[in-house]
Amino acid sequence: MTRSIKRKNFVGYRKHFNKTQRDVAMAMGVTESHIRHIENGRANPDVKLLFKLSRYFGTTAENLFPDLINFEVEFAGNKKVVSSPIDSIHRQLN
């Protein structure tokens, strides 16, 4: 990741549930510095951690990390920016 992005939603959920970075790290089985790096946008959670965090906070991955769901995909020769992989599938089916 070339630039640091503040992950306001992730931090907001953590604070809403009165959890420290250490609390989250211990519950997830990762280091406190890894949680700090995720919050500061210097690291991304792997898929397993992404789903664990979503369940831990009772929300979706999209709500926790909206910056991770916007990406470019190549589909049928057209380059598009897709807001969510699920949205893309729904558009293709309809």
The rounded distance, in Å, linking the Cα atoms of 48 and 57 is 15
Beta bridge partners of 78: 75
Q: Is residue 61 part of a domain?
A: yes
The reply to whether the predicted model has a pTM over 0.75 is no
Task: Name the nearest CA neighbour of 68 among 60, 76, 79, 58.
Answer: 60
- Confirm if 80 and 72 have CB atoms less than 8 A apart: yes
Task: Output the tens digit of pLDDT for each of the chain's 94 residues.
Answer: 444 567 999 999 999 999 999 999 999 999 999 999 999 999 999 999 999 999 999 999 999 998 887 666 666 656 555 555 545 444 554 4
User: Which pLDDT does position 39 carry in this prediction?
Assistant: 95
User: Which pLDDT does position 84 carry in this prediction?
Assistant: 53
Could you tell me the residue range of the domain that residue 60 belongs to?
8-66
Q: Is residue 27 part of a domain?
A: yes
- What token pair was written down for 59? 């929300």
Q: Is residue 21 part of a domain?
A: yes
CATH of the domain at 60: 1.10.260.40
SS3 content of the chain, % helix, strand, coil (to 5): 55, 10, 35
Q: Is residue 3 part of a domain?
A: no
Q: Is residue 77 part of a domain?
A: no
